[in-house]
Amino acid sequence: MPINRSHQRYLDVLFSRSEATRYPSHQILGRIEAATTDRETADRYIDLLLDEAETQRYPSLQMLDRARHMVTRVSVADKIQEIEAERD
């Protein structure tokens, strides 16, 4: 869950801008990455990136790298959560 209403609005604006264009700005994508603080937003971002990659004959390698990076971040967060649950 985003930090507060303003944070959610900020993310919504960024996602809206990214979804409205065929080639999302890498500056906007970087801002989404920096503002991602929860699993739901991370999944939404990964879906945005992979949806774009699936619709293009030659997807941007930078976009695929961004998706890989976020998938790795989510996987690491899941593993940390799993380890912490085992400790309790």
pLDDT in tens, 13-31: 999 999 998 888 999 999 9
Confidence at residue 2, expressed as pLDDT on a 0 to 100 scale: 64
Prediction pTM value: 0.88
Residue whose pair of structure tokens reads 């065929």 in the numeric block: 22
Regions of the chain with pLDDT less than 50: none
* Short-list 72, 6, 80, 65, CA closest to 30: 65
Confidence at residue 22, expressed as pLDDT on a 0 to 100 scale: 83
* Domain locations along the chain: 5-87
Neighbours of 3 (CB within 10 A): 12
